[in-house]
Amino acid sequence: MARFLIKRIFSAVLTLFAVSVLTFLMFFALPRDPVSGMCPKNCNPERLERVRQELGLRDPLVTQYAGYMKGIFTGRDLGSAQGGRCDAPCLGWSYVNNEAVLDTIARVLPVTLSIVIPAAILWLLLGVGLGMVSALRRGTWLDRAAIGFSLTGASLQLYFVGAVLLLVFVYNLRWLPVPSYTSIFDNPVKWASGLVLAWVALAFLFSAIYARLSRAQMLETLSEDFVRTARAKGLAKRTVYGRHALRAAITPVVTIAGLDVGAALGGTVITETTFGIQGLGRTAVEAVRAGDLPTIMATVLISAVFVVLANVLVDLLYAAIDPRVRLG
Amino acid sequence: MSMSPVEGVALAEVESGGDADAPKEEKGFVGRSPGQLAWLRLRGDRTAMVSGALLVFFVLVALSAPLIELLYGIGPSDQFQHKLDRFGMPLGYAGGVSGDHFFGLEPGLGRDIFIRLVYGLRTSLLIAFAAAVITAVLGIALGALAGYLGGWLDAVINWVTDLVLAMPFLIIALALTPTLTLRFYGERDAVSPAFGVGVLIAVFAIFGWTSTARLVRGQVIALREREFVEAAKASGAGLGHMLFRQLLPNIWAPILVSFSLAVPQFITSEAALSFIGVGLTEETPSFGRMIYQSLVYLQTDPAFVFFPGVAIFALVFAFNLFGDALRDALDPKSSR
């Protein structure tokens, strides 16, 4: 177990390192000059050049990368133009937003978390529940309705569903305010009413996929010998289906869920754009458009951390759910 | 006769007489290849036939777009400013739907929505099919090599897969597209529409191969220890023979299913990328671009949101239905 964990964490760190190097290289090739954007039109070439020197944009790539990584682990001095001393998890200074990238992230990360976590709970409960019920009631109208629901959801587009929801509930019926983010600690009701459409849209599309997957898995499990044996022994239906079969059927669902939630936490670009909420995803898109390298690095790294962490968690969960899996 | 597992299953099914459509011959049972069996099952499935027909229809419409333009008498870039009011909104009901303009006009530029959807279908299908073929080839090659050879190659390919999955696709695509474009065109050059399409396909190829590779790797590992593989190895078969003659023919069914489900995924990804403003040039009609442009008019001209939205839904829905039916037909274990 310990050996597995160490191996897994080592490979995760290696992945993150590669992501950071690749992102650094890729965005350096971006055909945009961040400096000319931050300076008004009457800047003379000498001044632009001085700013570039100051930001370290003229240093060799390796030096710049090493400086960035050093900032994350020990903090570094960025110079007076960039807010001076930058402490330990230093993600740099955004020359576009004129603030420390860490502050930007601290502002937008709770937004994305507030969108994804409730939506994920909703879609997992709804999706797995629907899949189980339709597998157990196979062939009935309920099963057919569930299949129809999941096929429809899997074929719909988030921006389309979002647009329809906005049109109906915000503009026509006026039941909900225009989507926006309020901190849950300030006003929980406003927090929920501002984000509920995003939750519903995400949960609808994702639960469709999960309903399909868990129905197929459950059907396969129900046809296995151990389920018949358990039933033949006289165990109650509820025990057999709820404990034995569910546990066996849910393992692949856990894998997909881990990847999906991890990816979603890294920024729900389309959801945030559709509902006009400023989270991690939209921040990343804007940073790419503006050529804001420090913000891009931070957002890409954070979403990679989420995906990699989710992967490790899934492996650990596997061992907890499925006793046949021995980590070694 | 090779002792491949798929043929074993097929034979068992023929003997059990589970095939109602099979014409009864004197001998009692007919030998059929797994492909023929799957085709028979597919033909008996009403959903598969309806969605298949719908797909054929979509492909025909996309292929004959210039012909439709000729018959319809309106091109995708023709503007009908005189049919808009002074706010740029189309005159008439439901976004200007009329005998001349089946789906109405775009607000602002006043282009015909119907003919733009026809050409948008062409763009979406071209990108999705090309991306699906390239990713399938890449995924099969890498997955089969990783699964069959194992060892360090497997470790490396696995790690690269993890790496690709950890990169946020939309953000990287957003950054990569202008970078690639600038490598080939100057700052002010007009980018040709075909180049935009090519860049999108390349971006999909870089990110899309991982799921096929994982699938193929798993299947190959399951087959690797089987007797027929060992027998081929013992008779001195080379790597190429092992992969293409022994292993791949036994796993084409799951590959075909994953291919058919990958196509709609690329259609939606193309739309999602257009939605955040990557890739195709303005004059190239595409579903995603139309929806993105239409969202501004959600309150004033809902018909403009409705037509592209429903069009892309119908296309993806047909693909998903057909992919599911294909899976059922190809998998003898499948339960319905």
Whether the CB of A154 is below 8 Å from some CB of chain B: the reply is: yes
Residues 201-260 (A) with a CB less than 8 A from some CB of B? 219-220, 223, 259
B18/A291 Cα distance (integer angstroms): 63
Any domain includes A17 = no
The pTM of the full predicted model, rounded to 2 decimals, is 0.81
Among A16-30, A126-140, B88-102, top mean pLDDT goes to A126-140
Any domain includes B238 = yes
Distance, in angstroms, between B29 CA and closest chain A CA? Answer: 28
Q: Does A112 lie in the same domain as A65? A: no
Q: What pLDDT is attached to residue B186? A: 65
From B301, which residue of chain A is nearest by alpha-carbon distance? A167
Minimal Cβ distance to A307: which of B166, B187, B272: B166
A280/A266 Cα distance (integer angstroms): 7
Q: Does A55 lie in the same domain as A125? A: no
* Percent of chain B residues topping a pLDDT of 90: 5
Q: Does A141 lie in the same domain as A33? A: no
Return the structure tokens found at A115: 């969108």
Q: What pLDDT is attached to residue B140? A: 92
Contact status, residue B95 vs residue B110, Cβ threshold 8 Å: no
- Domain boundary residue, one of A50, A82, A100: A100
From B334, which residue of chain A is nearest by alpha-carbon distance? A220
Return the structure tokens found at B318: 């047909």
Any domain includes B19 = no
Any domain includes A62 = yes
Instruction: Tell me the average pLDDT of chain B.
Output: 78
Contact status, residue A111 vs residue A100, Cβ threshold 8 Å: no
* pLDDT beyond 50 at B121: yes
Residues from chain A contacting residue B188 (CB–CB below 8 Å): none
Whether the CB of B327 is below 8 Å from some CB of chain A: the reply is: no
Q: What pLDDT is attached to residue B20? A: 44
* pLDDT beyond 50 at B22: no
From B323, which residue of chain A is nearest by alpha-carbon distance? A151
Number of domains within chain A: 2
* pLDDT beyond 50 at B216: yes
Q: What is the pLDDT of residues B82-111, one digit of tens each?
A: 777 776 677 666 666 766 766 777 777 778
Least confident of A24-38, A216-230, B258-272: A24-38
B134-163 average pLDDT score: 90
CB-based contact B171 A269, cutoff 8 Å = yes
Among A103-107, B94-98, B189-193, B331-335, top mean pLDDT goes to A103-107
Checking DSSP bridges between strand A76-77 and strand A93-94, what pairing results, if any?
unpaired
- Which residue reads 């999960």 in tokens? A210
Instruction: Find all residues with CB under 8 Å of B138, minimum gap 6, and list them.
Output: B205, B209, B212, B213
Any domain includes A274 = yes
Q: What pLDDT is attached to residue B215? A: 87
Q: What pLDDT is attached to residue A327? A: 55
Any domain includes B193 = yes
CB-based contact B162 A163, cutoff 8 Å = no
Q: Does A167 lie in the same domain as A146? A: yes
Q: What pLDDT is attached to residue B139? A: 92
Instruction: Find all residues with CB under 8 Å of B260, minimum gap 6, and list them.
Output: B319, B322, B323, B326
List the CATH number of the domain containing A214. Answer: 1.10.3720.10
Residues 273-312 (A) with a CB less than 8 A from some CB of B? 273-274, 281, 284-285, 288-289, 296, 299-300, 303-304, 307-308, 311
Q: Does A110 lie in the same domain as A219? A: yes
B162/B21 Cα distance (integer angstroms): 46
Q: Does A56 lie in the same domain as A35? A: yes
Residues from chain A contacting residue B305 (CB–CB below 8 Å): 160, 163, 167
From B164, which residue of chain A is nearest by alpha-carbon distance? A19
Higher pLDDT, A292 or A283: A283
Any domain includes A4 = no
Q: Which domain holds residue B124?
A: 38-330
A246-261 average pLDDT score: 82
pLDDT band (50, 70, 90) for residue A81: low
- Which of A14, A28, A155, A212 is the best residue to mutate to test the B interface, defined by the most B CB atoms within 10 Å of its own CB? A155
Q: What pLDDT is attached to residue A54? A: 65
Distance, in angstroms, between B170 CA and closest chain A CA? Answer: 8
Q: Which domain holds residue A39?
A: 26-100
Using the 8-state DSSP alphabet, how is residue A31 labeled? S
B136/B138 Cα distance (integer angstroms): 5
Q: What pLDDT is attached to residue A35? A: 61
Residues 89-148 (A) with a CB less than 8 A from some CB of B? none
Whether the CB of A29 is below 8 Å from some CB of chain B: the reply is: yes
Any domain includes B18 = no
Continuous H helices in chain B: 5-16, 34-43, 46-63, 65-72, 113-149, 151-166, 169-184, 193-224, 227-234, 239-241, 252-275, 287-294, 302-330
* pLDDT beyond 60 at A40: no
Output the CA torsion A297→A300→A302→A303 (10° steps): 180
Any domain includes B243 = yes
Phi, psi torsion values for B104, nearest 5 degrees: 85, -170
Q: What pLDDT is attached to residue B92? A: 66
B260: buried, middle or exposed (CB in 10 Å: 19+, 13-18, 0-12)?
buried
Q: Does A228 lie in the same domain as A123? A: yes
Higher pLDDT, B216 or A35: B216
* Percent of chain A residues topping a pLDDT of 70: 86
Any domain includes B279 = yes
A88/A77 Cα distance (integer angstroms): 11
* pLDDT beyond 70 at B14: no
Q: Does A94 lie in the same domain as A112? A: no
Q: Does A185 lie in the same domain as A211? A: yes
List C-alpha distances in Å: A257 to A206, A268, A299, A316, B193. 10, 15, 22, 14, 38
Q: What pLDDT is attached to residue B298? A: 77
- Nearest Cα to Cα of residue A133 among A219, A229, A10: A219
What region does B335 belong to: left with phi over 0, alpha with psi -120 to 50, or beta? beta
CB-based contact B170 A269, cutoff 8 Å = yes
Q: Does A259 lie in the same domain as A214? A: yes
CB-based contact B168 A163, cutoff 8 Å = no
Using the 8-state DSSP alphabet, how is residue A178 labeled? P
A59-81 average pLDDT score: 75
Q: What pLDDT is attached to residue A168? A: 84
Residues 256-315 (B) with a CB less than 8 A from some CB of A? 264, 268, 271-272, 275-276, 291-292, 295, 298-299, 302, 305, 309, 312-313
B273-278: list long-range contacts, CB under 8 Å, 24+ apart: B273/B170, B273/B173, B273/B174, B273/B200, B273/B203, B275/A159, B275/A270, B275/A273, B276/A269, B276/A270, B276/A273, B276/A285, B276/B170, B276/B174, B277/B174, B278/B173, B278/B174, B278/B177, B278/B200
Instruction: Find all residues with CB under 8 Å of B69, minimum gap 6, and list them.
Output: B75, B76, B115, B118
Q: Does A249 lie in the same domain as A307? A: yes
Any domain includes B158 = yes
CB-based contact B171 A14, cutoff 8 Å = no
* pLDDT beyond 50 at A223: yes
List C-alpha distances in Å: A261 to A83, A203, A254, B63. 35, 12, 10, 39
List the CATH number of the domain containing B220. Answer: 1.10.3720.10
pLDDT band (50, 70, 90) for residue B138: very high
Q: What pLDDT is attached to residue B142? A: 92
Any domain includes A244 = yes
- Domain boundary residue, one of A39, A67, A100: A100
Q: What pLDDT is attached to residue B13? A: 42
- Nearest Cα to Cα of residue B273 among B289, B284, B258: B289
- Domain boundary residue, one of A61, A85, A100: A100
Phi, psi torsion values for B20, nearest 5 degrees: -75, -30
* pLDDT beyond 80 at B321: yes
B23: buried, middle or exposed (CB in 10 Å: 19+, 13-18, 0-12)?
exposed
Complex ipTM:
0.78
CB-based contact B321 A285, cutoff 8 Å = no
Number of domains within chain B: 1
pLDDT band (50, 70, 90) for residue B11: very low
A196/A204 Cα distance (integer angstroms): 12
Minimal Cβ distance to B305: which of A163, A267, A288: A163
Q: If you compute the radius of gyration of chain A from its CA atoms, what whole number of angstroms results?
A: 24
* Percent of chain A residues topping a pLDDT of 90: 4
Q: Taking the CB of residue A50, how many other CB atoms lie within 10 A of it? A: 13
A228-241 average pLDDT score: 84
A131/A301 Cα distance (integer angstroms): 34
Q: What is the pLDDT of residues A159-198, one digit of tens each?
A: 888 888 888 888 888 888 878 787 878 888 888 888 888 8
Q: What pLDDT is attached to residue B151? A: 84
- Nearest Cα to Cα of residue B168 among A283, A276, A120, A90: A283
Any domain includes A3 = no
Distance, in angstroms, between B145 CA and closest chain A CA? Answer: 21
A76-80 average pLDDT score: 68
* pLDDT beyond 50 at B224: yes
* pLDDT beyond 80 at B307: yes
Minimal Cβ distance to B179: which of A30, A270, A307: A30
* pLDDT beyond 80 at A281: yes
Any domain includes B225 = yes
Q: What pLDDT is attached to residue B3? A: 42
Q: Does A120 lie in the same domain as A42? A: no
Higher pLDDT, B8 or A18: A18
pLDDT band (50, 70, 90) for residue B322: confident
Contact status, residue B159 vs residue A19, Cβ threshold 8 Å: no
* pLDDT beyond 80 at B334: no
* pLDDT beyond 70 at A301: yes
B318-334 average pLDDT score: 78
Minimal Cβ distance to B321: which of A18, A27, A151: A151
- Which of B162, B171, B174, B267 is the best residue to mutate to test the A interface, defined by the most A CB atoms within 10 Å of its own CB? B171
Any domain includes A197 = yes
From B264, which residue of chain A is nearest by alpha-carbon distance? A155
Q: Taking the CB of residue A99, how many other CB atoms lie within 10 A of it? A: 14
